[in-house]
Structure 1
C-alpha cells in the first residue's frame, strides 16, 4: 500500500498543531450534545422503574431509556443549554488534544520512517496512533475529567465555574483528583488510537485510488475513512471508556450528580467486576449506540477539518518541513 498522502509528515510542526486545534474546536461544538447524552447513559447505574414512586428510589436521578429519550429528558429538565454542559472545558480539551495528538503522530511517524529497515505501513500507523493517543491523553486528562463532571451535573450545580471546579478538586482531592480513572483512560486510548489510525490510513488509501469506478468527491474519502475507523476502534474498547467515566466521578461529589447512586469503585478491576456482577455484560456497553453515533461523525468531521485546515494553512503560508 502506498504511503498516505495526508501530508502530516510533509508539514511543519506549527501547521500540524494549528490544524489540530482548528479541527478540535470545530468538531467538538458540532458533536457536544451527543457527548453529553453518552456520558449520562454511561453513568446510569441501574434503571428505576418508571412506575416506582418510592422517594428513596426516585432520589437516584432520572432514568434514561436510550439516546433520544435521554436527549428529550435533558431538554425538558435542563433546557437546550443542558446539551452543551461542560462545553468550555471540552472545547479546551479537544483543541489541546487535537494539537498534541496530530503532532505526536507526525513525530512518531517520522521517527519510524528513519529506522534503518522498512516498517509495514499498517504497523507504522498503529504504533504512531497508539503513541499519539497515549501522549495526548496524558497531557489533556484533567480537562477530560472536568468535561465529564460538568456533563454529569443536573440542575444542582456542583461546580459554579471552571475556576471553582479546579479549586474545589484540588482542595478536596488533591492533584490525584484530576487524574481519577487515568489508568482506564490510557488502557482505552492506546489500542483505540492505534486501531483508529491504522484503519483510517488503510481506508483512506483505498478510497483515494484513482481507478475506482466511483471516485468520492474531494474531502469525502477523509470523512468516510474517519467515520469507519472510529466505529471499528470504539466498539473494540468501549467497556474501558465506560469504566473511565465511572471512575472520573468518584470522590466527595459523587452523590451530587444527576445519577446519585453511582457505586464506589477502587480501580479498573473493581469497577469492571462490580459492573459485570450487578449489571451484566450489557452494563459494560451502556451508551454504545450513542457512542458510535457520536464517534463516526466526530472522527469524520475531525479528520476532514484537520486535512482541510492543513491544506489551507499550507496555501496561506507555504513552509518548509521542520
Structure 2
C-alpha cells in the first residue's frame, strides 16, 4: 500500500531516511509513543546506546529534582556522630524548617550542595544499572546472548520482528507457564545484580557526594576534584571505597526489591488494563511510589550505616560495618536505624517515580522497544 508522505520533521532534513517502521502505512502504525522528529535522527544508533542514554538522563534528572531532600536525609543520618557541624549536628527539626535553615545560613544554592557530583555519578550509574537490568532479564528469559543489540529485532522488511505487542505477548506466555514465583525471582536477581555492579563502578563519586553534602559551616573540601585528591592523599586509595561493603549489602536488595515490585505492579496494571482508564504516567507514578516505599523501608538501616561509614576517616581503625551497627543500636536503639526516614520517604517516593516515568517516556519517545520497563 502507498505510504503517507509529508514534510520532513524539523532538524532531520539532512538525516538519512528512517526505516519503514517509522513511516505509517495504511495498516502499520509507527512505534507506539515515538516522536518522529526526535526518534528519526537516532534510529541508526544501536539500541544498547539508546538504553544507556535513557537510563543516565532519567537518573540525573530525578536526583536533581530531589537533591534538597536528599541533603536533609544525609544530615539527619549523620546527627550525633560529630561529622556534621552547626545546627545540623544536633537540632531535630522538620523538613520545612531544615530547608529554611539551610537557605538562611548557606544560601539557596546550598540545597543542591554535592548535586553536581551526584549528576556526574548518576549518569554512568543509571546508564549501567538500566542497561544491565534489561540485558540480565533478556539473558534469564533465554532471549539469546548477553549484550545482544536489540536492533537485530528489526526485520529486513523494515518492521520490528513481532513488534512490541508481539514481544510482550511472547514474554507473557512464558511467564504464565513458569508462574509468578519465577517472574519475581528473575526480577530480584536482575535488579540486585545490576545495582551492585553499577554501584561498584561509580562508588568513589558517591562517597565524595556524601562528604560534600555533610559540609555546613565548616568546609573540608572545595569540590569534586579537591575532595578526590584530599581523600586519596590522606586516606589512600582504599579511602575512596570506604563503606563499599555495606553499600553493596544495601543497594543490592534495595534495587532488587525496587525493580521486582515496580515491574510486578506494572504487569498487574497492564493485565487489568489500568492504562486504558488512567493516564500511563499516573500508573507509572503509582507503581514507582509503592516500590520506593517498600524498598526504602526494608533497607534503610543499611543505608544509614553505610553513610556513617563513608564519613569515617583513615584513623578510625576497627570501625567496620558490624561495629557501627552495634554502636547505633547501643546509643540510639532500634529507632536510631530509621533516623531521617521521613525525609527519605519524601525524597525517594518522587525520586523513584520520576526516574521510572522519565525512563519510560524517553524510551517511548525515541522508539526503544524492550517490551518491559
Q: In structure 2, do the counterparts of structure 1 residues 156 and 31 end up closer, same or farther at CA, with 3 Å as the change threshold?
A: same
Contact 1:208 1:215 in 2 (8 A): no
Per-residue CA distance 1:108-140 (angstroms, 9 max, x = gap): 111101189957211111110011111111111
What is the deviation of 1:58? 7.4
* Alignment-derived partner of residue 98 in structure 2: 70
Per-residue CA distance 1:178-211 (angstroms, 9 max, x = gap): 1111111000011111111110011111223354
Contact 1:265 1:271 in 2 (8 A): no
* Alignment-derived partner of residue 282 in structure 1: 335
* Alignment-derived partner of residue 305 in structure 1: 358
SS of the equivalent of 1:219 reads helix
Query: Following the alignment from structure 1 to structure 2, what is the Cα–Cα distance between the partners of residues 314 and 78?
Result: 44
Contact 1:28 1:90 in 2 (8 A): yes
**Which of 67, 84, 108 does residue 80 from structure 1 map onto?**
108
2:149 is equivalent to residue 96 of structure 1: no
The 5-angstrom pairing of residues 1-322 of structure 1 reads 12-45=47-80, 61-114=89-142, 118=178, 120-212=182-274, 215-251=277-313, 266-314=319-367
Contact 1:250 1:265 in 2 (8 A): no
What is the deviation of 1:147? 0.8
What is the deviation of 1:12? 2.1
Q: In structure 2, do the counterparts of structure 1 residues 202 and 35 end up closer, same or farther at CA, with 3 Å as the change threshold?
A: same
Q: What is the number of residues matched between the two proteins?
A: 290
Runs of 4+ in 1 over 3 A off after TM superposition: 57-62, 115-119, 209-214
SS of the equivalent of 1:208 reads helix
Using the TM superposition, name which of 37-46 and 297-306 deviates more.
37-46
Contact 1:250 1:264 in 2 (8 A): no
C-alpha RMSD over aligned residues: 2.8
Q: In structure 2, do the counterparts of structure 1 residues 59 and 303 end up closer, same or farther at CA, with 3 Å as the change threshold?
A: closer
Query: Following the alignment from structure 2 to structure 1, what is the Cα–Cα distance between the partners of residues 333 and 73?
Result: 19
Contact 1:207 1:215 in 2 (8 A): no
Query: Following the alignment from structure 1 to structure 2, what is the Cα–Cα distance between the partners of residues 97 and 128?
Result: 15
Q: In structure 2, do the counterparts of structure 1 residues 121 and 59 end up closer, same or farther at CA, with 3 Å as the change threshold?
A: closer
Q: In structure 2, do the counterparts of structure 1 residues 106 and 115 end up closer, same or farther at CA, with 3 Å as the change threshold?
A: closer
Q: TM-score, normalised by structure 2?
A: 0.72
What is the deviation of 1:46? 7.0
What is the deviation of 1:81? 1.2
What is the deviation of 1:64? 3.3
Q: What 5-or-longer segments of structure 2 have no aligned partner?
A: 1-31, 33-45, 145-173
Q: What 5-or-longer segments of structure 1 have no aligned partner?
A: 6-10, 48-56, 255-262
Q: In structure 2, do the counterparts of structure 1 residues 224 and 213 end up closer, same or farther at CA, with 3 Å as the change threshold?
A: closer
What is the deviation of 1:306? 0.5
Larger radius of gyration: 2
